[in-house]
Amino acid sequence: MGLRKWLSRPMRGHHLGVEDLTRGDEGVPATKRRRWALQTIDSAPFQAWVVVVAGIGFLTDSFALFCLNVVTPMIGYVYWPHNTENDGTPQLPSSVKTALMCSTLAGTMIGQIAFGIAADRLGRRKMYGLELVIVIAGTFLMMMSSNGEKNSMAVGGWLIAWRTIMGLGIGADYPLSAVITAEFAPRKHRARMLSWVFFAQPIGQLLANVLSLAVVEGFKSQITSVYPACPTGDEGLGCFKAIDRLWRLVVGIGMVPAMIALAFRFTIPESPRYKLDILRNVHTVFEDTKDFFGGPEADEEGGELETLPTSPTVNAPGLSRVSTSSEIAPDEVIGNDSESERRPSSIQHRPVSYQHIELPPGDPSYVPPLASWADAKDFFIAQGNWQYLLGTSLSWLFLDFAFYGLGLSSPEIVRHIWQNPQSDNSASSVFDSLRDNSLHTLIMVSIGAVIGGAAMIKVIRYASPKVIQFWGFLVLFLLFIVTGSAWTKLLDSSRSGLIVLYVLSQVAFNLGPNVTTFIIPAEIFPTRYRCTAHGISAASGKLGSWLVQVFLAYAFKSSNQEERYDWERQNFGHVLQVMSAFMVAGAVVTHFLVPETRDHDGKSRTLEVLAGGKQVIDELNKHRAQEED
């Protein structure tokens, strides 16, 4: 959809002035309107503006999450100048650093579940944009953190508190952006649109490193290039001030794309599938779909819609569903136009004729039930769809254990790989250390992630997310087991080889499960539980990232910095071997518990078919196998 249509579309489905909701569509039943809307969405072109609106916010989240890699060394120079390594370089205390990471991830977990549930109950549109307000507020408050006058406050406590707030907004964006993109996406472009949205994550990482490198170079004249720490007294006052401004500037830049995205997110229309399945506002969806997707108009003469051709459906025996659809009688008088905005009630205030129609799985005319405890128990327990939720949750947990173990520990890993203790007899200066941290992270993490993410956008057109996820886990297993086994030898003899393996790992992450774990939960659950299920799956991933931070904190625990540094260099290979076991577990879970979202022709199944759950998908696969035999 072009910018002109975006800006000129009706707000909340209403035109200015008195709107005629029956323009040439008199006598058209609600089921026909529903079919028309869903088929129009699934046959629409690539929705670039949906990707842009979701992607900008996701870029902000990524920037806010991963800027810790470049910000924490800066904060260490300013507020913990006496907490030095064996070479005299100041650093953040390990307890504060671990608390910063874990508080951010804990807030992210809460945001993913809370906003996921809220989006299913209250609507996607009401929640969308609110999460960016939280991120902006948390970012601004983090920029204001300090020790106070004469150390009257603890800067570490403030940083942890505001990072938790930021985490709430960051986490909320996962289910909202994924589900809104999936529900607006045409069938054949859905996986690619979701891949484009997630591509904002490596772009956010890249920007964090590029911008930090730029601002370090910009403050070069004020940062000492002689000493490993800012000198004490008046001599080092300018250095302290420069670094203190520097980290606040890097953090604050992340608010810029968030503010740009706010205007678009607050004006995005409600998801048409949410209106159809939850609000049951068929009339407003009919108008919104025409405005947003430029769908066909109603036939003025006959009152019949020119429906798009539908893909063949399978009338699976034993799985045909009964849909109770109400149609307006010819002589019926509607006294209140607002009735079309209300949810259906068991008490009908006007004569209604009911028809019980046997519908095949995924039929666009089928109206699913509303969410309730009884329905949730039936869908997830009785029908066995808990297996799908368990599969998406565990695969994301296993992935993030490794991804965030490497991603949020990048400064330490990068330092070990690039620094050669046999030739580097003296510590780097403050300027060199900050510049090298940004530059080396840019080379080892960001470039590989961007290459993998860009390749994913192309590959997802030809391979299903499940296939990519399965083989991605296996490739990561091989890379981790090789890198972990050769870690100490490569550190001493071929650090360039270690850099190549690390970059390949980042490529494999983003050309594999790091993207597909984001895509699959947005596709396989019904509208009434889609955001909640995606939020639970994503929160499971953040649980894995939280666990790995605790694991690394205790694994690298030592009595002094010199012992810790030596232990890391000698034993990080074993940590990679542990991560490789999680990659095998991810492949096993993907194979047995994650469903295939494409048919045997390689075409994406509609969200309506996938919403049928395990029984429907199993029956469709069985029917297709019988046809092939």
The answer, yes or no, to whether residue 344 has pLDDT greater than 50, is no
Distances (CA, A) of 546 to 323, 400, 440: 44, 9, 25
Which string of b and e fits 446-459 if b means at least 16 CB within 10 Å?
bbbbbbbbbebbeb
Give the pair of three-digit tokens for residue 472.
């991605």
Domain contains 526:
yes
3-state secondary structure of 357: strand
DSSP string, 501-541: HHHHHHHHHHTTHHHHHHHTHHHHS-GGGHHHHHHHHHHHH
Domain contains 36:
no
pLDDT band at 607 (very low <50, low <70, confident <90, very high): very high
The winner for highest mean pLDDT among 136-150, 218-232, 363-377, 461-475 is: 461-475
What is the total residue count of the chain? 629
DSSP string, 129-151: THHHHHHHHHHHHHHT----GGG
CA nearest to 131, candidates 58, 29, 194, 202 = 58
Domain contains 536:
yes
State the residue range of the domain holding 534.
41-275+374-419+430-628
Write phi, then psi, for 324 (nearest 5 degrees): -95, 105
Domain contains 352:
no
The mean pLDDT value for 409-414 works out to 64
Which pLDDT value is given to residue 292? 63
* Domain count for the chain: 1
pLDDT band at 129 (very low <50, low <70, confident <90, very high): confident
The mean pLDDT value for 365-391 works out to 92
- Here the CATH number for the domain that contains residue 398 is 1.20.1250.20
Share of the chain above pLDDT 70, in %: 77
Write phi, then psi, for 318 (nearest 5 degrees): 85, -10
Domain contains 24:
no
Q: Work out the angle at residue 178's Cα, subtended by the Cα atoms of residues 173 and 180, and round it to the nearest 5 degrees.
A: 95
Domain contains 555:
yes
Which pLDDT value is given to residue 24? 36
210, amino acid identity = V
Angstrom distance (rounded) from CA 614 to CA 596: 10
Which pLDDT value is given to residue 145? 92
Poorest-confidence range of 85-89, 125-129, 165-169, 190-194?
Answer: 85-89
Which pLDDT value is given to residue 337? 36
Bridge partner list, 327: 353
Report whether 534 contacts 111 (CB < 8 A): no
Angstrom distance (rounded) from CA 274 to CA 253: 34
Give the pair of three-digit tokens for residue 203.
């772009």
Poorest-confidence range of 270-279, 292-301, 398-407, 474-483?
Answer: 292-301
The mean pLDDT value for 239-262 works out to 90
Angle between helices 430-441 and 237-253 (to 10 degrees): 20
Share of the chain above pLDDT 90, in %: 41
Give Rg (Cα) of the chain: 27
Which pLDDT value is given to residue 258? 87
Angstrom distance (rounded) from CA 130 to CA 268: 13
Domain contains 354:
no
Report whether 605 contacts 362 (CB < 8 A): yes
pLDDT digits 0-9 by tens, 108-117 = 999 999 999 9
Poorest-confidence range of 42-51, 225-234, 375-384, 571-580?
Answer: 225-234
Question: pTM of the full predicted structure?
Answer: 0.83
pLDDT digits 0-9 by tens, 26-50 = 445 655 777 888 888 888 888 888 8
HSE, CB side, 13 Å, CA atoms: give it for residue 261. Answer: 28
The answer, yes or no, to whether residue 123 has pLDDT greater than 60, is yes
pLDDT band at 418 (very low <50, low <70, confident <90, very high): confident
The answer, yes or no, to whether residue 85 has pLDDT greater than 50, is yes
pLDDT digits 0-9 by tens, 280-316 = 876 666 666 666 665 544 433 333 333 334 444 444 4
The answer, yes or no, to whether residue 470 has pLDDT greater than 70, is yes
Domain contains 491:
yes
Spatial neighbors of 18 by CB under 8 A, at least 6 apart, are none
The answer, yes or no, to whether residue 425 has pLDDT greater than 70, is no
